[in-house]
Structure 1
């Protein structure tokens, strides 16, 4: 084999390795941005659930077919809903996901304020005649 042919083969194999590495990078990025539908608190990259393994395989296949990352995200969103995205878009169907924690925090502060304000406003119970006599005696210094 000629020297030129060897260099050409080496270059072609390096290009193939670079392309495979690029697909792996894109797969890792997509897997980190999608939620495991079984675990729900883990990304596809973190999960070892069978469904997550299947979803990662689908990502690999679709990347191999030349689909863009956005097309693949759209595919999973269409199939599983916006919840599949680890950072769901702000739209009417995800308002609860985005605003729910703030609403709960506001309700908690309102409840705390209400309890504290009621506690400060309550009148102490009136003293009984025996308690009043004892208090007067303590104030005069005639304590028994």
Structure 2
């Protein structure tokens, strides 16, 4: 019986060690130049991860985001400006890579589409409510509870 308890504890300890080692492998590399690393994080915070699409390149753990961060580090080391790096990424991946794409003809739906959908929904709601308010009460099906109440009231 004690051997069984000992094996369980040993298994739990090995599982814990494996989990800690797996997390340690995902830790980001220590930056040789903290200023360049801060600049890289600032730039990649403005870029959308093309795999995750809901995260910035700075926050994503995908392989593509790792590659993009490495590419930004390389471009920083080459002396490129922030705008040159963003322009390169935009030329390569399109405006979709930008977390805040510019307002232009190709992105107008992206910027104004949600507002147009909201206004359209409100307009449809108002029209439906107006139409329903003009209908007579007999046009609607009675509620099951109201029908049961009517039956009880008539028998009294």
Q: Same fold (TM over 0.5)?
A: yes
Q: Distance in 2 between matches of 1:92 and 1:26?
A: 31
Query: 5+ unaligned residues in a row in structure 2: which ranges?
Result: 1-31, 140-155
Cα deviation per residue 1:6-25 (whole Å; 9 max; x = unaligned)? xxxxxxxxxxxxx9222111
Name the residue aligned to 2:70. 57
Cα deviation per residue 1:35-68 (whole Å; 9 max; x = unaligned)? 0001111000111111111000100000000000
TM-score by length of 2: 0.66
Query: 5+ unaligned residues in a row in structure 1: which ranges?
Result: 1-18, 127-143
Q: Distance in 2 between matches of 1:59 and 1:76?
A: 9
TM-score by length of 1: 0.72
Shift of 1:124: 3.8
Q: Distance in 2 between matches of 1:106 and 1:85?
A: 27
Q: Which structure would you say has the larger Rg?
A: 1
Aligned structure 1 segments of 4 or more residues deviating by more than 2 angstroms: 123-126
Q: Distance in 2 between matches of 1:75 and 1:38?
A: 18
Q: What's the C-alpha RMSD, in Å, of the aligned pairs?
A: 1.8
Q: Distance in 2 between matches of 1:125 and 1:28?
A: 65
The 5 A counterparts of 1:31-50 are: 31-50=44-63
SS of 1:86's equivalent in the other structure is: coil
Q: Distance in 1 between matches of 2:132 and 2:36?
A: 63
